[in-house]
Each structure stands twice: as structure tokens, then as C-alpha cells.
Amino acid sequence: QEQLVESGGGLVQAGGSLRLSCAASGDTFSIYGMGWFRQAPGKEREFVAAISWNHDSTIYADSVKGRFTISRDNAKSTLYLQMNDLKPEDTAVYYCAASRPFRISQLPGEYHSWGQGTQVTVSS
């Protein structure tokens, strides 16, 4: 299983941008579908975005479409989430996760490895 470590969270004003990174250890990052999820206080963890192992496919939650972009660099075993036009409702702990080989999914149950999370706070 992959060890995943997120970074790049912080405090930003509404309308601002942040770029999250997720560094993976191990030798098999390139075959896994990868995703970002988030969890706000008092709410369930929700899907944000996912990308296929070969970059060909991406999925976004409706709430972030047009504002967030998921990408990956398999040579660096790193997943990214570029977040633009941030809103206070984007405030949450953001988690990256690794799915099954050669799969892309928005279902948390399809993911087997999770990072520890990084806090994103958007002020109004």
C-alpha cells in the first residue's frame, strides 16, 4: 500500500487559490487511480476529485467543477489539487487517497490508502 502525505493547506481569503500536493511512497503510484476527499467539521467525508492512473480521465464533484483541477506526476509519485476561486464552504480537511489499480472512482470504499489530511480554511 502507498504511504501518502499531503501538504499545501493553509488559510486563504475567499476568491484566493491554493495548491495541494500529495507525495506517495512506494513503487506502484503510477498504477493507482487517485482521489481527493474533504471533511468539514460535523459533516461526512465527501468526494472532491479523482484522476485515472494514466491521466486520461478525471471526475469532479459538482461543487468544485470549473474551480478545482486534479493532476498527477507519476515520475514524481505526486498528486496535486489546484484550487481557485475558493469559497468559505470549501473549508475542510483535505485528504488524498489511492484507489485500486487502473480504476477511477468517487466512492470512498474503493480507496485503500489515505493520507493524514491537510487543513484548508477559507475566510469570507
How does pLDDT run across 28-86, given as a tens digit for each residue? 898 899 999 999 999 999 999 999 999 899 999 999 999 999 999 999 999 999 999 99
How confident is the prediction for the chain on average, in pLDDT?
95
Considering only residues 26 and 108, tell me which one the structure prediction assigns the higher pLDDT.
108
Give the pLDDT confidence score for residue 100 in this predicted structure.
86
- Would you state the cell numbers that stand for residue 20, as one nine-digit string? 495541494
Backbone dihedral angles phi then psi of residue 6, each to the nearest 5 degrees: -90, 155
Query: Alpha-carbon distance 108 to 124, whole Å?
Result: 30
* Of residues 67, 70, 32, 62, the one with CA closest to residue 46: 62
Identity of the residue numbered 45: R
Query: Alpha-carbon distance 70 to 17, whole Å?
Result: 14
Largest CA distance in the chain: 41
Q: For residue 98, what pLDDT band results from cuts at 50, 70 and 90? A: very high
